[in-house]
Every structure is written in C-alpha cells, then in structure tokens.
Structure 1
Amino acid sequence: MTIQGVEGPAPAAGPVPSTAPAQPGWRRWLPMALTLGLVLVAFGVATWITLDAGRVEQVRQLIRSPNGLFVVFVLNVLANATLILPVPGLALTALAATVADPLTVGVVAGAGQTIGELTGYLAGASGRRALGVDARSQRLAGLMRRWGAMILFFLALIPNPFFDIAGIIAGAMRMPLRIYLAAAGAGKIIKNVALAYAVVLGMDQLLDLVT
C-alpha cells in the first residue's frame, strides 16, 4: 500500500551500458607494430656498422670529431633499441673510451643505452593484452611491483640478456616512466663508466709492458 505524500524506495538502477565505441583493432596493434619496426631498423643499422672493420674505423674517426659524443649517444641508442636481438653495444663504449674521456663516454653511452631500452618498455605498454603479463606472470609481476626499481637497476648494472624481458614487464604493468628511466639509467651509466675506465687502465698497463 502506498501512503499519500510519501515516496517509496527508488528502484535499483541497473548497470549502465557503455556507449563508448569499441577501439579498432589496428589502434591497439599500431604502437606495438611501430615499436617492432624501430627494433628491426636499429638492429639492421647496428649490425651494418659493427660487422665491417672499415666501418668500425669510420666510427672511431667520428668519435674523434667535434660531434663525437653525439655519435656515441646515437650509436648506443641504436644498439640497445634492438630489444632481445644481440648487438655488441658495450663494444661501442670500449671503442669510444680509447679516443675520448672515459668518464664522459661512460655517462653519454649509459644515457643512450637507457633511451634505447625504451623499446622494451613501450612494447610492454602497447602490447599488454598480447603479452598476457597480468594473467600468466602474476608472481614475477608481483616482484616487479615490490622490487621493480631495484631489479631493473641490478639487471642494468650487470651484462645479461634478461633486462629486455624486465623492461617489457615494467611497461606492461605500467611502472612510472620516471622510475624506469632512473633505475635503468643509474645501472647503465655505472656499468659503462666502469667499462670505459677498465679499457683505459688496461691499455695503459699494456703500453707499460711493451715500452
């Protein structure tokens, strides 16, 4: 019975259907396709440079030029943008350390490598559904959420093939970009500075032995 002047409870509202249009498939896959294209181009250019002794000497001359540090930066970006495909990026640091200041070379090379590693982060961020990180790698994703910056730092510090995988997971779980860049950059800069000084000190000791 309804009492005059008193309204009854309003009926429960059902779920409101979404009116947003479905995102076309090409928009979901375009960022990942562009990232893959960048990876393949970087791999081709880096391989074209490193597999020919004459080109290596040309690179050495470019490093000696006034734009040498820019060359070091760009080559390290390309060498590390190849994702899991192997390119001897650290060899570029060692080569540059023989003709330029090792500290500067290490910092510039590490910065370039950090930018290059963004391909892994972007691949994870753009292909989250395809990679299935949330469904298949809950344990690893949980470790990355808790210790992500530390894991990235140590993987960047020590030469190993697992950093790219960690970068993909970091992108898929939407790790803040500033944290990703800070952790990866710190590890890679320390690694490259140490390598550059090791090359210079090793050459000095070798010259002492032969002179």
Structure 2
Amino acid sequence: MIALRFLALLFVIGLTVLIYAYSNQIEKFKAYGYPGIFLVTLLANSTVLLPAPGIAFVFAMGNLLNPFGVALAASVGGTLGEISGYLAGFSGQAIIDRINIYKKVEPFVSRYGGFAVLLFAAIPNPFFDLAGIAAGGLKMPFLRFLFFCWIGQLIKMTCFSFAGYYSINWIIGN
C-alpha cells in the first residue's frame, strides 16, 4: 500500500512539472475544437497547487463554438484533470497535513463530503486542489468524488463559456 501511495505521489509531481514546463504549448490546442478544449482543461486541472490558464481558454472558446459544447467538454476534461489532486491526497497525507490552509479545508470536506467538493469545484478559486487532496486523504469513494467534481465543474464551465459567448460579442459590438 505504501508503494502504491508513493507511486501515485511521484506521478502527480511528475505530471505537474511536465504540464508547467509545456504550458506555452497549450495555445496550439485551439484548432482542435471540443477535443482541444477537453485536453486543455484536462492539463490545466492536472496541476496541483500551480495555476494554469484553463478558465481563460474556456471563456475565449465559448465565443467561437457552441457554449454548451464548450462547457461539457471543459467540465469532463477538468474533472478528469482533478484526479491528480485526489491522488495527491490519497498518497501524500503526511505532507499535506502541514499546510495551514489545508487544515481549514479538510474539516469542511470531511463534514460536507461531496457537496463540499461540488462547491469548491463550482467556484473559481485556487483552493479546489486542496479540496481534492482532502477528498483523497479522507478516502472519499472515487466515483463519488468524480460525480460531485463534475457537477461543480459543469456549473463553473457553463458560466465561463456563456460569459465568453456574450461578453466578447458585446465588447466587439456585434
């Protein structure tokens, strides 16, 4: 079990470093439509505790493609990307317990479970990684985590997609 946790932690660290190193290549995915949106949000949400530009991409693509399709692709990609935070919590509990802000997020996730995950996923904030880490550390059932994370991501991505759809046209004057 310790070996599995260690491998999961190494995977998360390696993935975060890789994504951060190639973050300038993310712009090339615009030409790939919905699969590109899925991939960009998957990568942006795979980083743990490092910001990546996924929401801005969803905002921009909401103006270029069907905003419902953008929201759906982005929410699925974002949810699958958040598995890295869950795995970090599952594997590295002793390290995470030392982070002060985690000490405030973990009791909330412990008390409210999936609804806390949904809330943190729906609100654009840098603390969702901590909620995912807490869910993994608390051994929340994996499919439950994915379900509530996806609902929250869908709410957030729908808001940003439609914000892009309406505001860019308004700014340009079309």
**TM-score bracket for this pair, using the shorter chain length:** 0.7 to 0.9
Query: Which amino acid is 2:18 matched to?
Result: V
How far did 1:141 drift?
4.2
Q: Which residue of structure 2 lines up, in the alignment, with residue 185 of structure 1?
A: 150
Change (3 A) 1:84 1:142: closer
- Contact 1:43–1:81 (CA under 8 A) maintained in structure 2: no
Q: Please give the secondary structure, in 2, of the residue aligned with 1:83.
A: coil
Q: Which residue of structure 1 lines up, in the alignment, with residue 93 of structure 2?
A: 128
- Of structures 1 and 2, the one with the larger relative CO (CA 8 A, separation 6+) is 2
Structure 1, gaps ≥5 residues long: 1-22, 51-55
Change (3 A) 1:206 1:36: same
Change (3 A) 1:26 1:59: closer
Does residue 24 of structure 2 align to residue 33 of structure 1? no
Q: Please give the secondary structure, in 2, of the residue aligned with 1:161.
A: coil
Seq. identity, %: 30
Q: Please give the secondary structure, in 1, of the residue aligned with 2:113.
A: helix
In the aligned structure 2, how far is the partner of 1:75 from the partner of 1:186?
Answer: 19
- Contact 2:29–2:40 (CA under 8 A) maintained in structure 1: no
Does residue 23 of structure 2 align to residue 42 of structure 1? no
For the aligned residues, what is the CA RMSD?
2.3
**Higher CA-based Rg:** 1
Query: Which amino acid is 1:74 matched to?
Result: L
Runs ≥4 in structure 1, deviation > 4 angstroms? 25-28, 137-142
In the aligned structure 1, how far is the partner of 2:160 from the partner of 2:93?
Answer: 35
How far did 1:146 drift?
2.6
Q: Which residue of structure 1 lines up, in the alignment, with residue 42 of structure 2?
A: 77
Number of corresponding residues: 171
Which structure has greater helix proportion? 2
Q: Please give the secondary structure, in 2, of the residue aligned with 1:205.
A: helix
Change (3 A) 1:139 1:101: closer
Change (3 A) 1:144 1:81: same
- TM-score using structure 2 length: 0.86
In the aligned structure 2, how far is the partner of 1:140 from the partner of 1:158?
Answer: 14
Does residue 104 of structure 2 align to residue 104 of structure 1? no
1:168-188: per-residue Cα shift (whole Å, max 9, x none)? 111011001111111111111
Q: Which residue of structure 1 lines up, in the alignment, with residue 118 of structure 2?
A: 153
In the aligned structure 2, how far is the partner of 1:138 from the partner of 1:200?
Answer: 38
- Contact 1:106–1:189 (CA under 8 A) maintained in structure 2: yes
- Contact 2:39–2:77 (CA under 8 A) maintained in structure 1: yes
- Contact 1:72–1:105 (CA under 8 A) maintained in structure 2: yes
In the aligned structure 1, how far is the partner of 2:144 from the partner of 2:159?
Answer: 23
- TM-score using structure 1 length: 0.72
Query: Which amino acid is 1:106 matched to?
Result: A
Change (3 A) 1:118 1:27: closer
In the aligned structure 1, how far is the partner of 2:21 from the partner of 2:143?
Answer: 29
